[in-house]
Amino acid sequence: MAVRMKDIAEDLGVSLVTVSKVLRNKSDVGETTRKRVLQRVRELNYQPNMLARGLASGKSYTIGLIVPDLVHTFFAELAKGVSAGLRKESYQLILASAEEEPELEHQEIEHLLARGVDALLIASCQSSASGFKSLVNSKVPYILIDRLLPKLNAYFVGTDDIAAGRLATEHLIELGRQRIAHIGGKLISTSVGRLNGYKQALAENHIPFRQELVVIRSRLEEAGVQIGSNAMQDLLKLKQRPDAVFCYNDLTAVGAIRCLLNNKLRVPEDVAVIGCGNLRLSGYLEVPLSSIDQSPQQQGEEAANLALSVLAGKHERRAKHLLVEPKLIARDSTIGREGQTA
Amino acid sequence: MAVRMKDIAEDLGVSLVTVSKVLRNKSDVGETTRKRVLQRVRELNYQPNMLARGLASGKSYTIGLIVPDLVHTFFAELAKGVSAGLRKESYQLILASAEEEPELEHQEIEHLLARGVDALLIASCQSSASGFKSLVNSKVPYILIDRLLPKLNAYFVGTDDIAAGRLATEHLIELGRQRIAHIGGKLISTSVGRLNGYKQALAENHIPFRQELVVIRSRLEEAGVQIGSNAMQDLLKLKQRPDAVFCYNDLTAVGAIRCLLNNKLRVPEDVAVIGCGNLRLSGYLEVPLSSIDQSPQQQGEEAANLALSVLAGKHERRAKHLLVEPKLIARDSTIGREGQTA
DNA sequence: TTGTCGTAAATTAACGTTTGCATATTGCCA
DNA sequence: TGGCAATATGCAAACGTTAATTTACGACAA
């Protein structure tokens, strides 16, 4: 059906191998032959069959990406960045969504390996490294994204979550807040990092850490608004209520704000709220939301670049961990009306 | 490196072909042999090499999806739906983002064809069918998503945009609005459909269509907020201002509302606003936004199913166009506080 | 002249499957 | 006992490419 190298070779009376060499820019082919081949290639709009190429060469020019859930804009933007990063080197992206299920993630890893991906990028929803056994054995290079796994000495690209937690907390401290609460997530590295950043900022500013001001919940990614609201409700039950909250993500912050307003509290006058993730619409919410920007698209590109350079054998020169600096975006929910720009 | 059928065959003292047959559930293999093979397959965690399989069989068990931009949650959710739909049949998804550039889209089509995808799903950013030449020639089945192209007798899955436009406009009419404006997009089928729905609703309710109440802008997908705000500003310059606006998408609506509030107008009392797309955060905005829900995830699954059934040779039974019914989601921006549920 | 080298090309053998056809092996009936 | 399905299995040739090895042909130096 499609044009093959063989067809071009026969048309021109040269060997198929010669055509192959021209297409891969090998040096040992004469200038005139090369021109003739390229000419014919263009005429027929020949595209090499990547399956055959992959089978013969052992490289598929394909990179796999597994994300927990595309609905979180973070991962969607990440995927976009990866795609853009790969395009420059004409690699292609095979995308799999694990739907936040470790077992599914494990299966997808197997499938992508069977597909012959040259490298694998994974924003894992596993909490242990056990699902990575065949990946590690396969010798296919892989890069963790966003979420770090303990026990796995892997390449990593992600947010500097400690810095994110610090940035958010320091911002609240600078605004004079003293009883700063945190609504955080469970298990995964991002939660831990942000919590640690929060603690560090408190310590450096000589504010005592109080266990009762920290509420840990799970499923903040999927049902953040609902859970954030509940968590805030719990915080309001304390004898002395917090005057600020640093939330694990923006959805959670939206929920927290909703809860505060329902309780006739003012944001930020009574309680300042900051999230993390800086969603596209965060600036247009009921109370425009202060947040920490994570540049997900940039992270995707960095991950793609790292993967490509590992494949090119340059991994010695590259650090194994690449942390993207988070940025503070201050809006009404912490600094009030005067700061509004929208 | 990896386990091959050959290895399993040698271990068991049977032919490679027999193994192949077992794996593909061919009937002509004995029960005991079949069990032995499956046993060994499990022991070694064998995964068939999809590149080889694809080369030999001409089917890659791979479907390509090209979207204009993953940052629009519509397409991200769509991709998620497609991925879910394919997983059931253990097909995999190769994703490409065209970054809203027709030329890039054209290249990606070629690349995916070279990759041997069994079918192609395209939410096209082309305005003509010219970039589809090689696709049409290739005989690879393809399905347009969300955006219909004139001149191309293709399978299509998308929103019933006329119904969407009607639904939004009728809602405004039912609320007693008489001067209903529309901020719409350029060129692509979705804009045209929504505008037509708007016109139909007006006509059916004997409200005269006024050209000056329709503002057409481009780039509403990328820069909707900014452009929506400007467009609204223009509408406010009319001698007699509109009492309602139906916006092409939610971003545009957000911009429009921002503009109205800046002009000391109340939403919805002075001007009711409705968008389209029902973004995840639309219910938590400054003024919770009424919108038209398009069920993008469902659309993705439908598209995947359609593709799979076409591949299975069942295309006769399927209609070529599959329209997903939009749903009205009424919130404060049209019905005011009393309707609030959040 | 012979031998050595360099360049340009061709030949052959992979890569791991599937596919069509051929060959064993069985059971059954006449 | 021979013959014939029916059932199981295997062989060999694809699929379209790359990689390793070989050949052809001059040019050039000794």
A341: pLDDT confidence band, cut at 50, 70 and 90? very low
Contact A309, A315 (CB under 8 A): yes
User: Which range (A149-163, A233-247, B315-329) has the least confidence?
Assistant: B315-329
pLDDT in tens, B196-244: 999 999 999 999 999 999 999 988 888 888 899 999 999 999 999 999 9
State the pLDDT at residue A342. 40
pLDDT top residue among A328 and B151: A328
Write down how long chain B is. 342
State the pLDDT at residue B341. 44
Strand B92-97, strand B119-122: pairing: unpaired
For the record, the structure tokens of A277 come out as: 């993730």
| Smallest CA–CA distance from A80 into chain B, residue | B70
State the pLDDT at residue B139. 86
State the pLDDT at residue B338. 64
Asked if pLDDT for residue B317 goes beyond 70, the answer is no
Maximum mean pLDDT: which of A94-103, A121-130, A163-172: A163-172
Distances (CA, A) of B31 to A53, B10, B41: 37, 19, 15
Region A311-321: mean pLDDT is 73
Asked if pLDDT for residue A243 goes beyond 90, the answer is yes
For B336, counting Cβ atoms within 10 Å of its Cβ (0-12 exposed, 13-18 middle, 19+ buried), the class is: middle
DSSP letter, residue A13: T
**Phi, psi angle pair for A67, to nearest 5°:** -120, 160
B337 interfaces chain A, CB cutoff of 8 Å: no
State the pLDDT at residue B32. 86
State the pLDDT at residue A184. 94
State the pLDDT at residue A245. 97
Residue-averaged pLDDT of chain B: 90
pLDDT in tens, B22-42: 998 888 888 888 889 899 999
For the record, the structure tokens of B193 come out as: 């459909």
DSSP letter, residue A288: P
pLDDT top residue among B136 and A122: A122
Judged by C1' against the alpha carbon of A46, the nearest nucleotide is D16
SS3 A330: coil
A232: pLDDT confidence band, cut at 50, 70 and 90? very high
pLDDT in tens, A39-80: 999 999 999 999 999 999 999 999 999 999 998 999 999 999
Give the H or E element holding residue A267.
none
Edge-to-edge, what's the strand order for the sheet holding A142-145?
A: A321-324, A155-159, A142-145, A119-122, A62-67, A92-97, B92-97, B62-67, B119-122, B142-145, B155-159, B321-324
State the pLDDT at residue B342. 40
A336: pLDDT confidence band, cut at 50, 70 and 90? confident
State the pLDDT at residue A188. 84
State the pLDDT at residue A319. 65
> What are the start-end ranges of the E strands in chain A?
62-67, 92-97, 119-122, 142-145, 155-159, 180-184, 214-216, 244-247, 272-274, 291-293, 321-324, 327-329
pLDDT in tens, B133-142: 888 888 899 9
State the pLDDT at residue B209. 94
Write down how long chain A is. 342
User: Which range (A107-111, A195-199, A324-328, B28-32) has the least confidence?
Assistant: B28-32
State the pLDDT at residue B248. 96
Q: What is the DSSP string of A142-196?
A: EEEESS--TT---EEEEE-HHHHHHHHHHHHHHTT--SEEEEE-SSSHHHHHHHH
Report residues 7-66 of B contacting strand C, contact meaning Cβ closer than 7 Å.
16-17, 20-21, 23-24, 48-49, 52-53, 55-57
d(CA B149, CA B162): 16
Chain D nucleotides reached by a protein CB under 7 Å: 7-12, 14-20
A126: pLDDT confidence band, cut at 50, 70 and 90? confident
Residue B219 Cβ < 7 Å to strand C: no
Region A229-241: mean pLDDT is 93
**Which residues of chain A does B54 touch, with a Cβ-Cβ cutoff of 8 Å?**
51
For the record, the structure tokens of A20 come out as: 């192959």
State the pLDDT at residue B221. 83
State the pLDDT at residue B316. 59
Residue-averaged pLDDT of chain A: 90
B97 interfaces chain A, CB cutoff of 8 Å: yes
The CA-based dihedral angle spanning residues B295, B296, B302, B303, taken in that order and rounded to the nearest 10 degrees: 160
Q: Do B71 and A71 touch (CB under 8 A)?
A: no
Region A218-244: mean pLDDT is 91
State the pLDDT at residue A150. 79
pLDDT in tens, A263-310: 999 989 999 999 999 998 888 888 889 999 999 999 999 999 999 999
pLDDT in tens, B233-280: 999 999 999 999 999 999 999 999 999 999 999 989 999 999 999 998
Region B73-82: mean pLDDT is 94
State the pLDDT at residue A318. 63
pLDDT > 90 fraction of chain B, expressed in percent and rounded: 63
Which residues on neighbouring strands pair with residue A152, listed in sequence order? Answer: none
Residues 30-59 (B) with a CB less than 8 A from some CB of A: 45, 47-52, 54-55
